[in-house]
Amino acid sequence: MYGTFYIAGLRRRAAELQAQRIADAAAAIADPRAVLRANLLSFQSSQTPEARAHGYLLEDIRKVIHATPQQLGVALDELGWSRRRTWSNTGPYRRRWYPPD
């Protein structure tokens, strides 16, 4: 008797997991940048206020979140990040990305 309830529970849980995987795949197809935006939000929340104030180079973000610069630029713009150029007399200028406050 206990075995039948246990197996039925396992089957129900497997069906729920499969339905969740199908829903996640459909959402990824409908909005391919959703996963990228979620990763960026996770990255943003894990940083210290000092690091946020300093800004991030696109290369630094790419080391953590593996995406092309084009994909990252679009996703960062969608999330409200701003970019500013940092001018230097000793070398080329760099563009830093700053998260929204």
Ordered by start, the domain boundaries in the chain are 1-30, 37-101
At 43 the pLDDT is 92
53 pLDDT above the threshold of 70: yes
2 pLDDT above the threshold of 90: no
- Which pTM does this prediction carry? 0.65
At 101 the pLDDT is 76
For residue 92, name the pLDDT band (cuts at 50, 70, 90): confident
Locate all alpha helices (DSSP H) within 31-68, ordered by sequence: 34-46, 49-54, 58-64
Nearest to 33 by CA among 82, 76, 83, 96: 76
Name the residue with tokens 């940048």: 33
At 1 the pLDDT is 66
For residue 14, name the pLDDT band (cuts at 50, 70, 90): very high
Rounded to whole angstroms, how far apart are CA atoms 21 and 13?
12
At 13 the pLDDT is 96
Other beta carbons less than 10 A from residue 47's beta carbon = 14
Q: How far is CA 35 from CA 1, 67, 89, 98, in A?
A: 43, 11, 39, 20
